[in-house]
Structure formats: structure tokens, C-alpha cells
């Protein structure tokens, strides 16, 4: 659902109870669906209005300004709700500084560490902190908080965001950071076995000119002049590292409770590039919010990819309306409606129903009160770019699009082995659901549309238009449909209840 949101839909039982009562003569204002113009929630979702208000309210409660109106105006003008605000924590030699630097370069954010806080020659606070450091004394937490607030008040940090490396180190620091109004959006904790960390730490080298950290085994610089100026950092012996690890483990368990909902633990006992991409994927995600959200879901995929089953599962769990385009057209013909009379000749001649008629039927169904109130999942339309444009023009643009990818051989296996018992109407599959007796098997019949030649034609038709549809729905989510249906459903469900990831160009 768009920007992170609980699916606020009623149960199927409530749908059944509420809808029949919504007549003009018997309207209960407390229970009946309210006729809110569909443009209002769509505008809110498109421009993140709900999230914007939630963040602004949070900032008001944290800072409690004397002039709330001016505070909100200043907040809106900064336009920095989505900039990175990341904590990266981890034991010594876990690689947190390297990951923090790589993320800063990729996200164009500002790196904040204890070292560069003290190296600010223009800050009196930094000079005081440096005196403690040179005297080999811990920097008081109150001074550290003032340094952080000073740096985060920098216009660069406000406009581009920041990544905090290795801070907080204690529970007390974490609480002071909270009370000072510093609120991260993502917290990453790197972890690895102590034996690995001790061995890794022994090979660490530092460039005194740039502050870059290298390693004798994993990350040795290619430039000879850089190699020659590298120095062994202080405090990396086995005994000193073990002592620091004990202190880290004592503190980190108390820190983690401060950030239960925005925390991700990543194993750093793997290639650094893999750690980086896991961290990048996480910080580009957006957390769920309490913003109201009406799901408008589109399932795309070739015949046999499982769209109908997934739509039924979604409708059953969330109470949204299952809309199959082919079924809608058949229902209009069966009802002998005015539109159905236009459709019937095309059915009889096995011709494609014109797009203008199809979109009219869809528009009528998706604009009914149940679809507006509870949301919908659509499958079987659009098939090509023209139909996608019609859907958009009609104001029926989905807010979640899934492409179900299934190999051709699996589609052939799924469809060509389907059979129907003409005596009972029971459906079977020769591989997954074989008939119980030989007598039943002998009378089974195959639907003409399930022959391999006709299945191939329909699959080829989908893929001939697929690339254009993928370009049109640029925020689509791709799902491997060639696995257990409930595994596919869980993946689709996670893509619905979680907001779309923030896209940052590589």
C-alpha cells in the first residue's frame, strides 16, 4: 500500500452486513460507507499527505515550539522528510565505518563520527572534546550531545541527511539522543563472531591523510604512496580488542531496546559488498505508517501464472473486491444489460471486445461504493499499452502492480494437463490432482483452450506487450510465480502492506 500502511479494510462478515443496508431509505451515518470523492484519498497517497502530517505532528511533540504555526511552515520549507537519517552500530572491526562511508557516497549524505566531530577546527565544542580525547579520557555525554546537535544543525545535514557511525555507544547516550530530538529512520547493527572480529582487527591499517581504513588482507590499496603512509591504529591488539568487545556486548543489548521497530541486524561475516547492498536495500525502504490506505491492486502475468488464485487469496484475507475483467464481461452478457447486448456479438464470433466497451464496464464496477470503500484487486486487464492508458485516463490507476513471472515450460505443464469430468464437473490435473479412479480418468476431457498450441499463442501475446507495460508501470513489483502459491501470496502481501522502496539512482 503506498507509503507504508496498515490495510484498513473490514472483514468479509462486516462487508456482508454493511453493504445491503446502504439504501437511500435506510441509511445509518455511523456504519454506512461514506461517499468520499475518490480523488481525495488518491491525492493524499500520491503526495504523501498522511505521512507528512504524521511526521510534522511528531516533530511538534518532540520540540514543543512556542509558535507551532511558524514551526510547521519552517518544517515544510525544509522539505527534508525523506533524507537519510541513519545510525550504524556494530562491534570493533565489524566494518561499520566502511559501510557508513559507502552509504554516504551512494546517498549523498553526510558522515558523522566521533572522529570528525572532534576535527572541526571552527567549533569550540570540538576543541573541548579534543582535549578529553588527547588526555585519553571519555568525552562527557552532555558534551557529545551538544556536538551532535551542532553538526546536525548544519545546513548540509539538514538538506541532505546524515549517517551516524558508531554512536550511541551506551544506553544513556541513546536516551539523551532521543530526548534531544534526534530521531533516526533506520538503525543498522552489524554482527559477527568475536574470533572473526579479533582476527580482522589485527590487519587494520589507517591512512593518516584521509582517515580511510584499509586491511592487509581484504582491502589493501593499489597505490604505492598510500601503502607507504599507512599506520597501525592504536588499540587493535588481541587483548585490547577482546576488552572492547566485552564492553560492546554489555552495552548493545540495552541500546537495541530503544529502536525496536526501525532496527535491522546484518551479519558482517560476509563480503563487504554483500553487507553494503543489504544495508542499502534496508535504508531505501520506508516503514509502515498509520496512514489510511485503500488498496488498488493490479496483477499482471501470462495465462497460467496464478493471477486468479492470488486475487482470491487477497480478497479473502483483506475483504477487498476481486475484479476479473473476463468475468465482468460475461456477467453483462448473462444479465442481458444494454452493454451486454453490445458484447454478445463479439463473444459469438470469438472476437476481441473493443477497448471502449471494456473500459466502460470496468469503470462502472470499480466506481461502485464497495470498491471505493474497501479497495480492489484487478486481473485480466490491461493487456497492452493502449488499455493501460485508458485505465489511467479513467482515473483507475492502481497503487500496487505485480508482475507474476513463470517459465514457459511451467505454464504448459499447468494448463495442458488440466482436465474436467463431464459427468460431475469436477476439475483435475494429471500431475497435481489426478483422478482417484481409472473410470474417471477415461472420461476426462480437455478444454479446447488448454491445448499446447493455443496456450502458446496466448503466452506469446502477453509477452509481446509485456515490456511496454513494465515501462508504463515503473514502480511494479516482480514476483517469481513458479513456486508454492502461498509463498507467492506472502511475497505479494509484503509488497502491499509495506511502502514502495525509495529509488536512488546508482
Q: What is the CATH number of the domain that holds 418?
A: 3.40.50.300
With contact defined as beta carbons under 8 Å apart, do 319 and 333 qualify? no
Q: Are residues 275 and 385 in the same domain?
A: no
Distance CA(17)–CA(106), nearest Å, equals: 52
58 within some domain: no
Of 241, 257, 283, the residue at which a domain comes to its end is 283
Question: Alpha helices, DSSP H only, in 79-207?
Answer: 96-107, 114-118, 124-134, 141-152, 155-160, 171-179, 194-202
Cα distance between the two ends of the chain: 25
CA atoms within 13 A on the CB side of 93: 29
One domain for residues 180 and 271: yes
Classify residue 47 by its DSSP letter: T
Give the number of other Cβ atoms within 10 Å of residue 112's Cβ.
24
Q: Of the residues 283, 309, 337, which one is the last residue of a structural domain? A: 283
Question: What is residue 504's three-state secondary structure?
Answer: coil
CB 299 within 8 A of CB 495: no
Residue 33 placed within a domain = no
Cis peptide before 168 (omega within 30 of 0): yes
Of 305, 267, 85, 103, residue with least CA distance to 189? 267
Q: Cα angle at 145 between 142 and 148, to 5 degrees?
A: 155
Rounded to the nearest 10 degrees, what angle do helices 68-78 and 49-63 cross at?
Answer: 130
pLDDT tens string for the chain (506 positions)? 444 444 444 444 433 333 333 333 333 334 444 555 666 666 777 777 777 887 888 788 877 889 989 988 888 887 777 889 999 999 988 889 889 999 999 999 999 998 888 887 778 888 888 888 888 888 899 999 999 999 888 888 888 999 999 999 999 999 999 888 888 989 999 999 988 888 888 877 888 888 777 777 777 888 888 888 888 877 778 888 888 899 999 999 899 888 888 899 999 988 888 899 899 988 887 766 666 678 899 999 998 899 999 999 999 988 899 999 999 999 999 988 888 888 999 988 888 899 899 999 999 999 888 888 888 999 999 998 999 999 888 888 898 999 999 998 888 888 888 889 888 888 888 888 898 999 898 899 988 888 888 889 888 888 888 889 999 998 889 999 988 888 899 889 888 876 665 554 43
| Predicted pLDDT at 292 | 64
Residue 315 lies in a domain: yes
3-state secondary structure of 204: strand
- Tell me how far apart the alpha carbons of residues 474 and 319 are, in angstroms, rounded to a whole number: 27
- The angle at the Cα of 390, spanning 386 to 391, to the nearest 5 degrees, equals 115
pLDDT at 121: 73
Q: Based on the fold, state whether residues 330 and 257 are members of the same structural domain.
A: no
Is residue 73 one of the residues assigned to a domain?
no
**Region of residue 162 (left: phi > 0; alpha: psi -120 to 50; beta: else):** beta
* Contact yes or no for 113/107 (Cβ under 8 A): no
Pair (272, 300) in one structural domain:
no
Tell which of 235, 261, 283 closes a domain: 283
Give how far the C-alpha of residue 110 lies from the chain's centroid of Cα atoms, to the nearest Å. Answer: 24
User: Does residue 24 fall inside a structural domain?
Assistant: no
User: Counting beta carbons within 10 angstroms of the beta carbon of residue 238, is it exposed (0 to 12), middle (13 to 18) or buried (19 or more)?
Assistant: exposed
State whether 217 and 320 are in the same domain. Answer: no
- Residue 121 grid cell: 577546527
Task: Note whether 314 and 445 are same-domain residues.
Answer: yes
Provide the residue range defining the domain that includes 195. Answer: 82-283
The helix/strand/coil state of 189 is strand
The verdict on 217 and 356 lying in the same domain is no
- Grid cell for residue 252: 548493545
Evaluate whether residue 46 is within a structural domain: no
For the four alpha carbons of 329, 335, 340 and 343, in that order, the dihedral sign comes to positive
Kindly give, in sequence order, each residue whose CB lies less than 8 Å from that of residue 424, ignoring residues fewer than 6 positions away.
none
Cα 474 to Cα 272: distance, rounded to the nearest angstrom: 30
The answer to whether 191 and 90 have CB atoms below 8 angstroms apart is yes
- Residues 6+ positions from 486 with CB-CB distance below 8 Å: 313
> Do 178 and 314 fall into the same domain?
no
CA 112/CA 74 separation, integer angstroms: 24
**How would you list the strands of the sheet with 296-300, edge to edge?**
321-324, 376-379, 296-300, 400-405, 477-480
373: region left, alpha or beta (phi > 0 left; psi from -120 to 50 alpha): alpha
Half-sphere exposure of residue 151: CA atoms within 13 angstroms, side-chain side: 24
**Domain assignment present for 89:** yes
Count CA within 13 A, CB hemisphere, residue 10: 16
Residues 230 and 373 in one domain: no
If asked whether residues 199 and 131 sit together in one domain, one would say yes
Which residues, including other chains, have CB under 8 Å from residue 451's CB and lie 6 or more apart?
A: 416
Cell of 233: 591504529
Q: Assess if residue 330 is contained within a domain.
A: yes
Task: Answer for the pair 381, 353: CB distance below 8 angstroms, yes or no.
Answer: no
Considering the domain architecture, whether residues 322 and 394 belong to the same structural domain is answered as yes
Same domain assignment for residues 193 and 312: no
Domain count, the chain: 2
Tell me the three cell numbers of residue 466: 509485456
Amino acid at each position: 500500500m503506498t507509503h507504508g500502511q496498515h490495510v484498513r479494510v473490514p472483514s468479509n462478515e462486516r462487508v456482508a452486513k454493511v453493504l445491503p443496508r446502504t439504501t437511500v431509505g435506510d441509511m445509518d451515518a455511523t456504519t454506512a460507507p461514506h461517499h468520499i470523492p475518490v480523488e481525495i484519498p488518491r491525492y493524499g497517497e500520491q503526495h504523501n499527505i498522511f505521512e507528512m502530517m504524521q511526521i510534522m505532528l511528531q516533530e511538534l511533540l518532540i520540540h514543543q515550539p512556542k509558535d507551532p504555526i511558524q514551526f510547521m511552515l519552517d518544517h515544510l520549507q525544509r522539505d527534508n522528510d525523506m533524507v537519510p537519517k541513519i545510525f550504524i552500530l556494530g562491534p570493533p572491526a565489524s566494518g561499520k565505518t566502511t559501510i557508513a562511508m559507502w552509504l554516504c557516497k551512494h546517498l549523498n549524505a553526510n558522515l558523522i563520527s566521533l572522529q570528525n566531530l572532534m576535527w572541526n577546527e571552527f567549533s569550540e565544542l570540538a576543541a573541548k572534546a579534543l582535549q578529553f580525547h588527547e588526555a585519553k579520557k571519555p568525552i562527557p555525554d552532555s558534551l557529545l550531545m551538544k556536538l551532535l546537535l551542532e553538526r546536525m544543525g548544519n545546513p548540509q545535514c539538514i538538506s541532505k541527511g546524515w549517517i551516524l557511525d558508531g554512536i550511541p555507544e551506551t544506553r544513556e547516550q541513546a536516551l539523551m539522543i532521543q530526548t534531544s530530538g534526534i530521531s533516526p529512520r533506520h538503525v543498522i547493527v552489524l554482527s559477527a563472531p568475536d574470533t572473526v572480529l579479533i582476527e580482522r582487527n589485527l590487519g587494520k591499517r589507517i591512512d593518516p591523510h584521509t582517515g580511510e581504513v584499509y586491511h592487509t588482507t581484504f582491502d589493501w590499496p593499489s597505490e604505492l604512496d598510500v601503502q607507504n603512509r599507512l599506520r597501525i591504529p592504536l588499540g587493535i591488539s588481541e587483548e585490547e580488542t577482546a576488552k572492547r568487545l566485552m564492553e560492546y556486548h554489555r552495552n548493545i543489548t540495552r541500546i537495541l531496546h530503544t529502536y525496536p521497530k526501525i532496527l535491522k541486524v546484518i551479519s558482517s561475516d560476509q563480503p563487504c559488498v554483500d553487507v553494503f547492498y543489504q544495508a542499502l536495500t534496508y535504508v531505501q525502504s520506508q516503514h509502515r505508517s498509520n496512514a489510511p490506505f485503500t488498496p488498488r491492486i493490479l496483477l499482471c502475468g501470462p495465462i497460467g501464472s496464478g493471477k486468479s488464485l492470488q486475487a482470491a487469496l487477497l480478497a479473502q484475507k483483506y475483504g477487498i473486491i476481486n475484479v476479473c475483467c473476463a468475468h465482468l464481461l460475461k456477467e453483462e452478457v448473462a444479465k442481458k444489460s444494454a452493454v451486454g447486448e453490445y458484447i454478445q456479438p463479439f463473444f459469438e464470433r470469438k472476437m476481441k471486445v473493443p477497448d471502449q466497451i471494456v473500459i466502460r464496464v470496468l469503470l462502472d464496477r470499480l466506481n461502485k461504493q464497495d470498491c471505493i470503500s474497501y479497495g480492489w484487486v484487478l486481473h485480466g486487464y490491461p493487456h497492452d499499452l493502449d488499455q493501460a492508458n485508458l485505465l489511467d485516463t479513467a482515473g483507475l490507476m492502481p497503487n500496487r502492480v505485480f508482475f507474476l513471472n513463470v517459465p514457459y515450460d511451467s505454464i504448459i505443464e499447468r494448463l495442458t494437463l488440466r482436465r474436467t469430468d463431464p459427468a460431475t464437473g469436477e476439475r483435475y490435473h494429471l500431475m497435481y490432482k489426478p483422478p482417484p479412479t481409472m473410470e474417471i480418468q477415461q472420461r476426462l476431457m480437455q478444454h479446447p483452450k488448454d491445448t499446447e498450441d493455443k496456450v502458446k499463442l496466448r503466452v506469446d501475446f502477453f509477452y509481446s506487450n509485456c515490456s511496454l507495460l513494465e515501462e508504463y508501470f515503473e514502480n511494479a513489483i516482480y514476483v517469481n510465480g513458479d513456486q508454492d502459491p502461498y509463498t507467492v501470496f506472502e511475497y505479494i502481501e509484503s509488497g502491499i502492506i509495506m511502502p514502495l522502496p525509495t529509488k536512488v539512482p546508482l
